[in-house]
Structure 1
Amino acid sequence: MSKPYQRISIAECNEPLVAIPDDIFKINPHPYMSLGAPYGDRSPFFVRQGILEKLQKSQAYLQTMYPNYQIAIFDAYRPIPVQQFMVDYSFEQLAESKDLEVKDLTEEQKNSLMAEVMKFWAVPSHDPKMPPPHSTGAAIDVTLNISPVKCGGNIQEINMGSPIDEISDRSVPNYFASFRNAQAVGFNRDRELLNQVMTHSGFQRHPNEWWHFSYGDQLWAWISNEQLAIYGGVM
């Protein structure tokens, strides 16, 4: 199940992975770690040095417009075993949501479910020419929070219309663009705000996921019509 962007060549720039500092809000407990995803001695809250600098630029830009808003990190670096774990988990959850038992699935059902999963999850490939975006340290899943100044001490996550990782059409960035009710208009407005502040520093948004942004990986290069990616897999 390769994807079109995986045909982009990679000219690795060898930037290090660095920890996302504590002054950038991180969603804890980390959702995949809570499920038992096999990070080993790795942490999900790492990115390449250049990605951190762009994230900080986006955060600063957001706060020039909305001082009480902040970008919140849901997920960043993802080792390939974690990618495999989450693809398997998502497949099982999707089957369960359709009242299907995984052990009883026909091949046709398995293929149909996996096709839905792979609209949102990258192939957990060990091929250095086709690394999953999050395994490069160049992709991040983010949302928006309102900081304690406005919320009386409690950080409030902004409702974006669907949860991160939901396998449905609601996850498509412009899903709510044609709706006219006030709530849907608000969802679309906040998704566009997130896109505005992230693209301000050069990130590109995943076509199917309002929360996923990257810079320098194959998906970014494909969306940007660039000939080369600069971030390959970090094993």
Structure 2
Amino acid sequence: MTAVEFEHIEIRENGDPLVDLRTYPFELYPSYFSRGLAPTSAMYLRRTVADRLVHVQRSLAPLSFTIWDGYRSRAVQKNIYEDFLDTLRIKHPDQDEEELRKRAEIFVTDPRSSRRIPPHTTGGAVDLTLVDEHGRALDMGTPFDHFGPESAALYFEDNTENTAVRDRRRILRDAMVGAGFRCDADEWWHFDYGNQIWAVHYKRPVALYGEIDDYS
């Protein structure tokens, strides 16, 4: 995500509220709560984002969504970032701290910056996958938060050893992009709507969503 500059985009907050995803027809698996990195299992997105996901899910039937993460506070963002940084420190003990932080930011926005708003803190970013009509997760090539090259959205377009995974990622990506979402290049599961990085991608002059303070 560090390769994309988006903090210069003006935000004109439109007031779209957060909604509780427990009232929506999705399977929910609050991944960061299960790992002890978030204080609650409740999951939220901006209402427009959640409503668009409902329409996408209907178009994909009999497939449906499992959602791993939506809105997160900056405090939770910090927990996730530091957890990943600790993993990198163990895996790469010879690298200095600056290099490790650069590696971490490919996948997780550094929450220390007051200029850069992490996309998830706007309620306009969602992490999800596809499940079949029996609720079984489809093989998408990597698990959630596999921070490696195989997680790139187009990895299996160039590495064609698994055409089934390639086709499943295409189904997800095409449906989400067709509904106006931005697909993250580094994470096949991550999609944006209304935030600054979405605005940059679609050459919009302003973003619709700014940061939401800690919400529960």
Say yes or no: TM over 0.5: yes
**Which residue in the other structure is 2:107 paired with?**
120
Alignment of 1:1-235 (within 5 A): 4-20=5-21, 21-27=23-29, 30-39=30-39, 45-63=43-61, 67=62, 69-98=63-92, 100=93, 109-125=96-112, 127=114, 130-148=116-134, 155-181=135-161, 184-235=162-213
Q: How many Å apart are 1:24 and its aligned residue?
A: 1.1
CA distance in 1, matches of 2:178, 2:90: 39
Q: How many Å apart are 1:135 and its aligned residue?
A: 0.5
Distance 1:176 1:121, change over 3 A: same
Q: Structure 2-normalised TM-score?
A: 0.90
Q: How many Å apart are 1:204 and its aligned residue?
A: 0.9
CA distance in 2, matches of 1:224, 1:207: 14
CA distance in 2, matches of 1:58, 1:15: 19
Q: How many Å apart are 1:3 and its aligned residue?
A: 5.0
CA distance in 2, matches of 1:43, 1:82: 12
CA distance in 1, matches of 2:78, 2:53: 26
Q: What RMSD, in angstroms, separates the aligned Cα atoms of the two structures?
A: 1.9
- The 8 Å contact of residues 116 and 167 in structure 1, kept in 2 or not, is answered as no
**Structure 2 unpaired stretches of 5+:** none
CA distance in 2, matches of 1:233, 1:44: 18
- The 8 Å contact of residues 144 and 158 in structure 1, kept in 2 or not, is answered as yes
Amino acid at match of 1:92: D
CA distance in 2, matches of 1:178, 1:130: 31
CA distance in 2, matches of 1:161, 1:2: 24
Amino acid at match of 1:25: E
- The 8 Å contact of residues 44 and 77 in structure 1, kept in 2 or not, is answered as no
- The 8 Å contact of residues 76 and 137 in structure 1, kept in 2 or not, is answered as yes
Q: Structure 1-normalised TM-score?
A: 0.83
User: Deviations 1:10-69 (Å, cap 9, x if unpaired)?
Assistant: 110011111112521112xx2211222243xx6551011111111111111111xxx2x1
What is the aligned residue count?
211
CA distance in 2, matches of 1:164, 1:123: 19
Q: How many Å apart are 1:222 and its aligned residue?
A: 0.9
CA distance in 1, matches of 2:159, 2:41: 39
- The 8 Å contact of residues 107 and 147 in structure 2, kept in 1 or not, is answered as yes
**Structure 1 unpaired stretches of 5+:** 149-154
Question: After the TM superposition, which parts of structure 1 deviate over 4 Å for at least 4 consecutive aligned residues?
Answer: none
- The 8 Å contact of residues 122 and 132 in structure 1, kept in 2 or not, is answered as yes
**Which residue in the other structure is 1:152 paired with?**
none
